Amino acid sequence: MPDYLNLRRLEGRIVALFLALLLVVQFASFGLIRSSIARNADASIASELKTGERIFRRLLSQRADKLHDAAELLAKDYGFIDAVGLPLAEQGTVETIKDALANQGDRIGASLVAYFDNDLKLVAATRDDAALISELQTELKPGAKPEAKPEAKPDAETARLALLGGQVYQLAWAPVKTPAQVGWILMGFALENVVLQDLQQLSELQAVLVRQDQPGHWLRLLSLLPAEMAQTLVAQIPAESGLFAASAGGENMRGFLAPLLDPVQGAQQRLGVLLLRSFDEAVAPYRDLQLTLLALTLIGVAVFALGSVLMARRISGPVKDLARAAEQLGRGDYQTPVQRASGDEVGDLAAAFEAMRQGIQARDARLNKLAFTDALTGLPNRSGFSEGLQQRLRGEAQPLAVLLLGLDRFKHVNDVQGHDFGDQLLCAVAARLQRLFAGRSHTLARLGGDEFVLLLTQADEAAARAAAEQIRKDFETAVSLQDQMVDLSASIGIVLAPQHGQEGKQLLSRAALAMYAAKKRQSGCVVYTAQLDVGSQESLSLLGDLRRAVEGGQLRLYLQPKVDLQSGRVISAEALVRWQHPERGLVPPMQFIPFAEQTGFIRELSRWVMAESVRAWAQLRQQELALRISVNLSTRDLMDIDLPAKIAALLAAHEAPTEALCLEITESAIMDDPQRALDTLNELHAMGFKLSIDDFGTGYSSLAYLKGLPVDELKIDKSFVLAMESDVGDAKIVRSTIELAHNMGLSVVAEGVETGKAWKMLAELGCDEGQGYFIAKPMPQEQLAAWLQAWRAPDLSQESVETLMGALG
Ligand code: C2E
Ligand code: CA
Ligand code: CA
């Protein structure tokens, strides 16, 4: 359906409105013309009918004159006078009178001639109609008796109309004088069609002679119209006199009833002539005019329709263009400008649309930039990178390598040094990496937090590993920020396309897996393998297993002794958990502790370890071998405000003093929420527990920071102790750590004492205690008592540490 026929469309509405207006005007004028034609016709018919009445009366009076003249002529006829003078009883007298009457009657065509004596007794008549004669005599009752008025001019009134025998007669009287009056001559015409024909010739009227038989009910006497039609019309005569409308045989007429005979006193009959004029005929000439008008209207409508369609198109065309343009904007196509087609309001609208398009385009571009770039470093963000990666994967850039870098320990820098510092560090790293790969085709992006990703095109595994090594080398130079040197290190996960996937999302998640594996193994860089995925799925089912492990008694408590490095006496032991897995065998803690920390399950695990440790302590006490037992606490444990109460309850159950336990906390565990950790540590310290800082040296915290913590002991991380014998730098760190710790009033424990040389060196450096395979590997708790009884301090006199100590200066 075209728009100009659719009323829901602007075009259709304009066309419809125009046409409706035109039709209303046309119909109104048509109606007005029609009604004025009808009014005019009625007026002219009314006057025609009046004229007709006059003509009719005139016709009647002409005939009446004729009757009078004839009657008077006969009354004065000598032969007739002689005849009436004869005695009536005489044979032939009546016949003679009758002859004279007939002669005169024939001459003028009268239908009735009669002679009455002075007493109005009939003497002779041209018709032998007894009924008629008697009716005549009724008509001539005393009151109605004609008067002799020879001098008076006969008129319609004297030529009385009378209804005799169902026929209307015009009657004229003339007195017969000899010279004394001897009788009356009555002469009558029967009213016949001729009169009506005369009227029809003189006017265009039809006439029906009618009689009233009872008030309001008329009967037809005479007419030229078909009987049935005439009767129908007569039946429509209204009670009131005047012009009226009637119809018969499908023809509209106007009628007018003219009374002809006033009821003579006593007479019941009333006569009239119904004059009729065809209304349809009267307005026929105007019909043509109306048809012409109709034709004009139709032509006008057609022209208007065409004009309004064109006009509607002119209006709606540009509006449609605008709607199309707006749709385009809606679809997100901001490139095509909106054309201004005209200078009118629609044009203004188009201009406004164009301004809007430009605004949206600019904002869109800005939003795109915001959505795809990292505000801090200006590098692409995750979305931006994914988009680019997807494009490269579709293109010719393969093989390609994705390196995902996670900075180590960044969170702690952020927490300790503040977010501004952390932000600056991230920017510095971004700048470093950009500079490092400036020479080759690459894309660098920041995925969020401390994660960066590097895309290398046309790169295989060797090239990716080389790039990772390049980064590691570069990071060996510490970053200088706000007069501080910050050590950088990153764990890098590598994925390769197409080997490891063809889909950006999958590649990124696999790179993340590899990166986490690198973090866990502290191996710097790991290339994705399918086993990593399996590993992570395994770890998911691990949580369930771990729960069952605690409930099902699969955990084992191992103890590793710590000795006084000067005397060689065993003074405490560290509790280390093991998992005796029904299928996997003995699972080392590094395979489930980090996971337990992530999931929060560590709290239950720690509680188990603590309970077991207190029990072990109690058992050793029974054998008079009581040793302080060091228990490892994680971040999650420190965040538990009920922790001190829980430990206290455990101790109370075995009647153990707080001195029975030492609590080992890594610096990273404190850094996650330093304030809360500090609160817990203060509380534990106040309760009398010995507190120890584990893995010291691997984090960012300085000794100065430790000063604010309520700790008693510091454990130098085994990586320094193990390297000490071969690396002077590490040896120096160990030495200065021991000195500074002592200055702060802390005792020092060295982890990872694997050789007698290390023991001797540490002892010379003043380290208080030692722990390591040289003394004993962690052992099932039940074996410790026997081991203790067998323990003898080793003889270190053969160990020579002079060269090493000398190198330290
Ligand atoms: P850690 O607290 O630093 O524990 C010392 C780790 O060094 C132990 O590893 C121990 O077996 C190992 N070690 C001791 N002497 C030597 C040595 O001479 N040479 C070498 N190379 N290693 C030595 P393990 O038992 O595998 O525990 C690893 C880590 O697991 C622990 O590090 C600790 O962070 C965590 N962990 C173990 N048990 C528990 C526990 O019950 N609770 C918590 N929260 N963490 C635990
Ligand atoms: Ca420890
Ligand atoms: Ca440690």
Q: What CATH number should be reported for the domain holding residue 82? A: 3.30.450.20
Ligand nearest to the CA of 604: 1
CB 717 within 8 A of CB 667: no
Element containing residue 221 per DSSP (H, E): strand 217-223
Pairwise pLDDT comparison (478 vs 520), residue with the higher score: 478
Residue to substitute in 520, 522, 576 for testing ligand 1 pocket (most ligand atoms within 8 angstroms of CB): 576
For residues 60 and 162, state if they share a domain. Answer: yes
Residues 6+ apart with CB under 8 A from 143: 264, 265, 266
Ligand nearest to the CA of 778: 1
Ligand 2 midpoint to CA 475 (Å) = 29
Q: For atom 20 of ligand 1, which residue has the closest CA?
A: 752
Helix ranges, 186-278 (H): 193-202, 227-235
Q: For atom 37 of ligand 1, which residue has the closest CA?
A: 576
Is the predicted pLDDT of residue 537 greater than 60, yes or no? no
Pairwise pLDDT comparison (774 vs 300), residue with the higher score: 774
Crossing angle of helices 643-653 and 674-687, in 10° steps, is 30
Q: For atom 25 of ligand 1, which residue has the closest CA?
A: 576
Q: How many other C-beta atoms are found inside a 10 Å radius of the C-beta of residue 132?
A: 19
375 in a domain, yes or no?
no
Residue to substitute in 632, 640, 665, 715 for testing ligand 1 pocket (most ligand atoms within 8 angstroms of CB): 632
Q: Tell me, what's the pLDDT at 675?
A: 83
Ligand nearest to the CA of 609: 1
**CA separation for the pair 775, 573 (Å, rounded):** 11
**CA separation for the pair 278, 743 (Å, rounded):** 141
220 in a domain, yes or no?
yes
Give the model's confidence band at 153: pLDDT under 50 very low, under 70 low, under 90 confident, else very high. Answer: very low
Helix, strand or coil for residue 448?
strand
Q: Give percent above pLDDT 70 in the chain.
A: 93
For residues 137 and 217, state if they share a domain. Answer: no
For residues 305 and 430, state if they share a domain. Answer: no
In order of 365, 391, 394, the CA distances from 398 in angstroms are 30, 11, 9
Ligand 3 midpoint to CA 685 (Å) = 20
Q: Which amino acid is at 288?
A: D
649 in a domain, yes or no?
yes
Q: Tell me, what's the pLDDT at 158?
A: 44
Q: For atom 42 of ligand 1, which residue has the closest CA?
A: 632
Ligand 2 midpoint to CA 314 (Å) = 87
800 in a domain, yes or no?
no
Give the model's confidence band at 440: pLDDT under 50 very low, under 70 low, under 90 confident, else very high. Answer: confident
Ligand 3 midpoint to CA 697 (Å) = 10
Q: Tell me, what's the pLDDT at 265?
A: 39
Q: Tell me, what's the pLDDT at 297?
A: 83
Residue recorded with tokens 């003074």: 571
Q: Give percent above pLDDT 90 in the chain.
A: 32
For residues 86 and 97, state if they share a domain. Answer: yes
Q: For atom 3 of ligand 1, which residue has the closest CA?
A: 695
368 in a domain, yes or no?
no
**CA separation for the pair 130, 134 (Å, rounded):** 6
Ligand nearest to the CA of 664: 2
Q: Tell me, what's the pLDDT at 262?
A: 54
For residues 699 and 716, state if they share a domain. Answer: yes
Name which of 145-154, 168-177, 590-599, 683-692 the model is least confident about: 145-154
Q: Which amino acid is at 98?
A: K
Domain boundary among the residues 528, 558, 587 is at 528
Q: For atom 33 of ligand 1, which residue has the closest CA?
A: 632
Give the model's confidence band at 353: pLDDT under 50 very low, under 70 low, under 90 confident, else very high. Answer: confident
Q: For atom 17 of ligand 1, which residue has the closest CA?
A: 752
First to last CA, the chain: 103
- Give the residue from 734, 702, 689 showing the smallest Cα distance to 715: 734
**CA separation for the pair 754, 776 (Å, rounded):** 9
**CA separation for the pair 779, 782 (Å, rounded):** 8
Domain boundary among the residues 484, 500, 528 is at 528
For residues 746 and 627, state if they share a domain. Answer: yes
Q: Which amino acid is at 270?
A: R
For residues 290 and 278, state if they share a domain. Answer: no
Ligand 3 midpoint to CA 563 (Å) = 15
Q: For atom 14 of ligand 1, which residue has the closest CA?
A: 772
Q: Tell me, what's the pLDDT at 149?
A: 43
Q: pLDDT tens, 639-658? A: 888 899 999 999 999 999 99
Helix, strand or coil for residue 256?
strand
Can you give the C-alpha Rg of the chain in angstroms? 70
For residues 273 and 300, state if they share a domain. Answer: no
Ligand 2 midpoint to CA 681 (Å) = 16
Is the predicted pLDDT of residue 569 greater than 90, yes or no? yes
Ligand 1 midpoint to CA 402 (Å) = 34
Is the predicted pLDDT of residue 515 greater than 60, yes or no? yes
2 in a domain, yes or no?
yes
Mean pLDDT for the chain overall: 86
Ligand 2 midpoint to CA 189 (Å) = 158
Q: What CATH number should be reported for the domain holding residue 517? A: 3.30.70.270
Task: Count up the domains in the chain and report the number.
Answer: 4
Q: Which atom of ligand 1 is nearest to the CA of 637?
A: 44
Name which of 22-36, 585-599, 605-619 the model is least confident about: 585-599
Q: pLDDT tens, 83-113? A: 887 777 777 788 888 888 888 888 888 888 8
Ligand 3 midpoint to CA 694 (Å) = 5
Q: pLDDT tens, 130-150? A: 777 777 776 665 444 455 444
Ligand 2 midpoint to CA 664 (Å) = 6
Is the predicted pLDDT of residue 72 greater than 80, yes or no? yes
Structure tokens at 129: 């109609």
Is the predicted pLDDT of residue 598 greater than 60, yes or no? yes
Residue to substitute in 751, 757, 774 for testing ligand 1 pocket (most ligand atoms within 8 angstroms of CB): 751
374 in a domain, yes or no?
no
Ligand 2 midpoint to CA 676 (Å) = 21
Is the predicted pLDDT of residue 573 greater than 60, yes or no? yes
Q: Tell me, what's the pLDDT at 614?
A: 97
Q: Which atom of ligand 1 is nearest to the CA of 597?
A: 44
For residues 432 and 508, state if they share a domain. Answer: yes
Q: What's the rounded mean pLDDT across residues 513-524? A: 82
Q: Which residues line ligand 1 (CB under 6 A)?
A: 560, 575-577, 588-590, 593, 606, 609, 632, 634, 694-695, 718, 751-754, 771-773, 778
Name which of 126-130, 311-315, 558-562 the model is least confident about: 126-130
Structure tokens at 514: 């590899």
For residues 748 and 659, state if they share a domain. Answer: yes
Q: pLDDT tens, 238-297? A: 888 788 898 888 889 999 888 876 544 344 557 888 999 988 888 888 888 888 888 988
Structure tokens at 510: 């696999």
Ligand 1 midpoint to CA 735 (Å) = 23
Pairwise pLDDT comparison (798 vs 129), residue with the higher score: 798
In order of 414, 560, 611, 618, 690, the CA distances from 654 in angstroms are 42, 22, 10, 7, 18
Q: For atom 22 of ligand 1, which residue has the closest CA?
A: 752
Q: For atom 4 of ligand 1, which residue has the closest CA?
A: 576
Q: pTM of the prediction?
A: 0.46
**CA separation for the pair 405, 442 (Å, rounded):** 15
Ligand nearest to the CA of 562: 1
Give the model's confidence band at 455: pLDDT under 50 very low, under 70 low, under 90 confident, else very high. Answer: very high
Q: Tell me, what's the pLDDT at 763?
A: 96
Q: Which atom of ligand 1 is nearest to the CA of 773?
A: 18
Residues 6+ apart with CB under 8 A from 28: none
Q: Which amino acid is at 276?
A: L
Q: Tell me, what's the pLDDT at 323?
A: 86
Q: For atom 21 of ligand 1, which residue has the closest CA?
A: 752
Is the predicted pLDDT of residue 506 greater than 80, yes or no? yes
Pairwise pLDDT comparison (783 vs 695), residue with the higher score: 783
**CA separation for the pair 230, 235 (Å, rounded):** 9
Ligand 3 midpoint to CA 660 (Å) = 20
Ligand nearest to the CA of 669: 1
Ligand 2 midpoint to CA 550 (Å) = 21
Helix, strand or coil for residue 579?
strand
Q: Which atom of ligand 1 is nearest to the CA of 754?
A: 18
Q: How many other C-beta atoms are found inside a 10 Å radius of the C-beta of residue 579?
A: 22
Distance from chain centroid for Cα 351? 27
Give the model's confidence band at 423: pLDDT under 50 very low, under 70 low, under 90 confident, else very high. Answer: very high
**CA separation for the pair 192, 209 (Å, rounded):** 10
Supply the range of the domain harboring residue 67: 1-190+286-331
Distance from chain centroid for Cα 178? 120
Q: What's the rounded mean pLDDT across residues 26-49? A: 88
Q: What would the DSSP string read from start to end of 235-294?
A: HT--SS-S-EEEEETTEEEEEEEEEEEPPPTT---EEEEEEEEEHHHHHHHHHHHHHHHH
Q: Which atom of ligand 1 is nearest to the CA of 602?
A: 44
Q: Tell me, what's the pLDDT at 686?
A: 95
Q: Tell me, what's the pLDDT at 139?
A: 65
Is the predicted pLDDT of residue 706 greater than 70, yes or no? yes
Can you say whether residue 188 is alpha, beta or left, with left for phi > 0 and alpha for psi between -120 and 50 degrees?
A: beta
Q: Which amino acid is at 622?
A: Q
Is the predicted pLDDT of residue 612 greater than 70, yes or no? yes
Q: Tell me, what's the pLDDT at 148?
A: 44
Q: What CATH number should be reported for the domain holding residue 688? A: 3.20.20.450
Q: Tell me, what's the pLDDT at 152?
A: 39
Q: Which atom of ligand 1 is nearest to the CA of 778?
A: 11
Is the predicted pLDDT of residue 541 greater than 80, yes or no? no
Q: Which atom of ligand 1 is nearest to the CA of 589?
A: 30
For residues 210 and 309, state if they share a domain. Answer: no
For residues 161 and 242, state if they share a domain. Answer: no
746 in a domain, yes or no?
yes
Ligand 1 midpoint to CA 576 (Å) = 6
Q: What's the rounded mean pLDDT across residues 161-169? A: 78
Domain boundary among the residues 252, 284, 316 is at 284
